[in-house]
Amino acid sequence: MRLRFFDPRFIATILLTLSSATALAHEFAKDGILVEHPWARPTHAKTVPAAVYFNVVNKGEGADRLLSVSTTRAKNVEVHKTTIDDKNIARMRPVADGLTIPAGATVSMETGSYHVMLIGLDAPLKAEERFPVTLTFEKAGEIDVEI
């Protein structure tokens, strides 16, 4: 049996494939806060800090703040921001007093901007590995995500 592009069975197959991809999206949500696609790069040694990246979408009516991040995989976890000074030198500094997520906004944790640093890993991060992290927000509370 051959399927043609205009064949309804072909169209149904494509639609089912696309809807399955959406269902597999790596997202976590609670009380108007959506955490999208958390991930981390593998590390070569446990002595090397690791960065965690994701998007935070505030679908709520008011601002919220990311107060802290925790995981059993690291001794210390900090939200950092990368800045570049007038001499083109990049510096990473912890964010004091939490990270505000304005209502209706998306804040991206990405290279060269905000990110989460895992310091004092219990073991190197491996490709395809998954591990839990808890994000604590001022209003939404704790959101458990899988990196």
What is the three-class DSSP state of 119?
A: strand
Q: What is the mean pLDDT of the chain?
A: 87
pLDDT at 21: 41
Rounded Cα distance between 142 and 130, Å, is 19
pLDDT at 20: 40
pLDDT at 145: 97
Q: What residue type is assigned to position 146 of the chain?
A: E
Kindly report the CA angle at 17 between 33 and 36, in degrees rounded to 5? Answer: 15
Give 17's contacts (C-beta < 8 A, 6+ positions apart). Answer: none
pLDDT at 46: 84
- Chain Cα centroid distance, residue 137: 14
Which residues of the chain fall below pLDDT 50? 3, 15-24
